[in-house]
Amino acid sequence: MTAKRSAGLLLYRHTDGGLEVLLGHMGGPFFAKKDAGAWGVPKGEYEPEEETAWDAARREFQEELGLPPPDGEAVELGEVRQTNGKVVTAWAIEADLDPATIDPGTFRMEWPPKSGNVQEFPELDRVEWFGLDRARAVIVKAQAAFLDRLAEHSG
């Protein structure tokens, strides 16, 4: 069985306090009270035979945040394999975005489990700008490599 694949865009900006990245907090009941490991690059799954990773990253940004992906030079951040086996490909783009402007996509799931009730939840319940140290403390562990690669590029 081949691993599931996701692609996403990591926005970054330079501030007086240093480099910051925009991360999304995963929506839904499993992550509602979690911080560490519940943040990540806005991304989503794609089928490599149906679209390129770059096209998927841009499409997923729109779906996850409800905003068009920014234009600008895309910095390839490569791939990581998460503990669940999913392979994530990411690019970084320098852009500023007001987190209050997002209009996240939603997903539906049975909640509580085995209740027969289907509820709708946001894909991302919030997005925030983080300095790299704070981002490393909350991002999905495997995705921290993207932060290191961005720091190398921006250094």
30-49 pLDDT, tens digit each:
999 999 999 999 999 999 99
102-126: average pLDDT: 94
Average pLDDT over residues 105-117: 94
What integer best gives the mean pLDDT of the chain?
95
3-state secondary structure of 53: helix
Residue 120's beta-bridge partner residues? 108
Q: Output the pLDDT for position 2.
A: 79
Cα maximum dimension of the chain: 52
Using the predicted structure, report yes or no on whether residue 65 has a pLDDT greater than 70: yes
- The whole model's pTM is what? 0.94
* pLDDT at 1 exceeding the cut of 90: no
The pLDDT score that the predictor gives to residue 121 is: 95
Please give the average per-residue pLDDT across 13-34, as a whole number. Answer: 95
Q: Which tokens in the block code for residue 23?
A: 């991360």
Radius of gyration of the chain (CA): 15
